[in-house]
Chains A and B, each alone.
Chain A
Amino acid sequence: MAGAGAMLAGCGGRAFAGSTLRFWAMGNEGANVPQLMAAFEAANPGIRVEVQPLPWTAAHQKLLTAYAGDSLPDVAQVGNTWVSELTAIGALSPTPAFAADLLTDQFPAVLETNQIAGRAMATPWYVDTRLVFHRTDLLAQAGFDAPPTTWDDWKRSMQAIKRRNPDAFAILMPVNEFEQLLTFGLQTGEPLLRDQDTRGNFSSPAFQTALAFYKSLFDEGLAPVSSSTQISNVWTEFSRGFFTYYISGPWTVNDMKTRLPAEVQPHWATAGVPGPTGPGGSAPGGSSLAVFNSSPHQDAAWALVRYLSQPSVQARFNAITGSLPARESAWTAARVTDDPYLQPFQAQLSRAVAVPKVPEWERIVTEMQIVAERMVRGEFNVPQAAAEIDRRADRLLEKRRWMIEQGRAA
């Protein structure tokens, strides 16, 4: 790395002569980011950027396979929950001192997600988190003028909605999606893993409160026991009033705007997620930009990250893709704060709580939800479910425990 840097510096002046950066980006971002590249290439003569768009479904495996096959790109967009995994295999270049300013003007929880053992391993690019989408008219009919902010009030409003229309439900929480229970669990403030993230902490009284709250919504008939595949069309059901609350991310805003019928359009809104005792947090999501340490073009790669992190560029990208910018100052520039549907995301993001940063995390939450679904279907009570999640988490973390005992991981 140092050698490559010296070689680049040796070229004098603009140090990027003739470097071609390979940049992998996913989904909507991958399709649209080439529009931003002309300006970057004009400002940095000598750097050419080759954008390779990947589908989200294949991206994670492609990155790991590329690592195994020694063919990683120079820069890539990575889901920010992958950062710990890519760090564990030693694929990422930590943010160098000269790029430290890229980590300012960011949402703290998102930044935290990208930091492993105190070092920033990737730079947040755009962010998302979960909000409660709701039907204002149905809520008003049930006697609530404003969306509730505590679990107790939230549940009271759901009971009122259910009383008015016993055939419908108050909230949709597909039993195959872990995000809802994870949100409740994060809101308690108790860490979900313990002992240096080597054991599950799901039996803690705090998480059991969250589990009990989650379970009660099904037990009281406020949420249907169904998976997302059984709800053929969320928008139709939402406009019919089959459910009033729906927890989802920013991508749903556009879907709601385009798919709900005109007569329902004035009657929906977004609000922060209620917490145990007041407005609660939710997991920060989104994508980060990662520079791989296998890249021979480190300086050019960081120049690209710097360019894509500029608030003005992020604001422009928001106009193209609708993704929420990671830099807070870009929110005002992009007039995101003027959008009544998007504006609550800013407050929600400032309350966001980072999820544990272990490579096994995605498997752990997947197992957590499998157990939670069985609990909802009556197979476990709350303490049993908590113990079962712990048992499965401990099994998944067994290798990590061994690594830490051997001093092979941090």
Chain B
Amino acid sequence: MTDVPAESDTLIAKPMRGHTPRRGIGRRERAAWGFVAPALIAIAVFFVIPVVSALLLSLTDFDIYALADLGNLRFVGLQNYERLFGNPLFWTAMRNTVWFAVLGVPLAIAASLAAAVLLNARTVRWRPIWRVVFFAPYVTTLVATAVLWNYLLNTRYGVINWALTSIGLPAVDWLGDPSTSIPAILMFVVWKIFGYNMLIFLAVLQTVPDDLYEAARIDGAGPWKQFRHVTLPAISPTLLLVSIISVASFFQLFAEPYVMTQGGPAQSTVTVLYFMYEEGFKWWNLGSASAVAFILFLCIFAVTLIQLWVSRRLGGDHT
């Protein structure tokens, strides 16, 4: 946006520069404020105020005693943060969350992109049906699907272990073994959410002009080269968007481990959000829970900045 604006831009940009008479600005500005006010109010009420109050709450020792009588509330400065950093379970939760994100984001994106590319292929018939089939997990109730996956992953009766043993592999105690609980939940999460990103990818893929593929084919590009040099550049802005959304959602993983493992076995599926929930609503240490929330906010924010920076470095001019 730093380069010289095109002609159509100047028309809009001109009145904003502030050289026009005052009364005009006033009216136009009022109108502009009027238009953005609903959005600003929503942002203030649902984002700025909660974030600021969480920050303030994280500097107090709001607990069960304060719940009974606000006079028992004390300002404790950064003590909540200091204690969190000294709490091994917090670091376990951090490590688990990073594992979920590092493994889950690429897996989810790969699965949804693969599904979108397959569905976009011209040879696929009954496309709407496939779209519904792939999208259905996303709109079904999480608890219902979690119960279903608990059966699929069951050590003795589960169909996954049945498949493993029938090809001669040993059965896996998916949700009972600390080393397999994260992969087991990841399988479920990826299956549950890939349909949503698939729809986004599908929409973008349909905007890629066919002439580009034709030209590539004439130049002798195979399917992989077409994907690498035509599809990927065309969808890279969407890829960035999807990866930012995915990172944020994987950092906020909660319901799946809550329903399937309750953080176990041996706290191997306690995520940061799960830890925060326990701090806040199991032990009622809302001060400390707010500190966790704030740290999580900073983490997601930092990862998003890194993603933007990487995408800029990779030469994407789409920002």
Contact = CB atoms under 8 A, between A and B. Distances in A.
Contacts of B155: 232
Contacts of A57: 262
Given A60-B282, A65-B281, A408-B72, A229 B67 contact: no
A231 to B, nearest CB: 10
A388 B71 CA distance: 31
A65 B284 CA distance: 9
Contacts of B284: 64
A280 B265 CA distance: 32
Given A402-B74, A408-B69, A88 B265 contact: no
Instruction: Say whether chain B's binding surface is mostly helix, strand, loop, or mixed.
Output: loop
A312 to B, nearest CB: 38
Contacts of B69: 90, 408
A360 to B, nearest CB: 9
Contacts of A408: 65, 69, 71-72
A399 B67 contact: no
B176 A359 contact: no
Contact of A61 (B61, B83, B173, B282): B282
B74 A61 contact: no
A227 B177 CA distance: 11
A89 interface: yes
A307 interface: no
B266 to A, nearest CB: 6
Interface string A202-239: 00000000000000000000000001010010000000
Interface string B117-152: 000000000000000000000000000000000000
A359 B71 contact: no
A409 interface: yes
Given A363-B283, A408-B71, A64 B173 contact: no
Contact of B64 (A88, A227, A395): A88
B68 interface: yes
Nearest to B284: A64
Contact of A89 (B68, B71, B265): B68
A104 B67 CA distance: 34
The interface size bin for chain B is 20 to 34
Interface string B154-182: 01000000000000000001001010000
A85 B265 contact: no
A399 B65 CA distance: 9
Contacts of B173: 232
- Best-buried of B74, B155, B283 by chain A (most CB within 10 Å): B283
Interface in A353-410: 359, 363, 395, 399, 402-403, 408-409
Interface string A51-84: 0000001001100110110000000000000000
A359 B284 CA distance: 11
A64 B286 CA distance: 13
Contacts of B266: 176, 227, 229
B63 interface: yes
Given A227-B265, A229-B266, A408-B71, 13 more contacts: A57-B262, A64-B281, A65-B281, A89-B64, A90-B68, A176-B266, A229-B178, A229-B265, A359-B65, A395-B83, A399-B61, A403-B65, A408-B72
Interface of A: 57, 60-61, 64-65, 67-68, 85, 88-90, 176, 227, 229, 232, 359, 363, 395, 399, 402-403, 408-409
Interface of B: 61, 63-65, 67-69, 71-72, 74, 83, 155, 173, 176, 178, 262, 264-266, 281-284
4 closest cross-chain pairs (CB), A and B: A229-B265, A89-B68, A61-B281, A90-B68
9 contacts: A64-B281, A67-B67, A89-B65, A90-B68, A227-B265, A232-B155, A399-B65, A403-B65, A408-B72
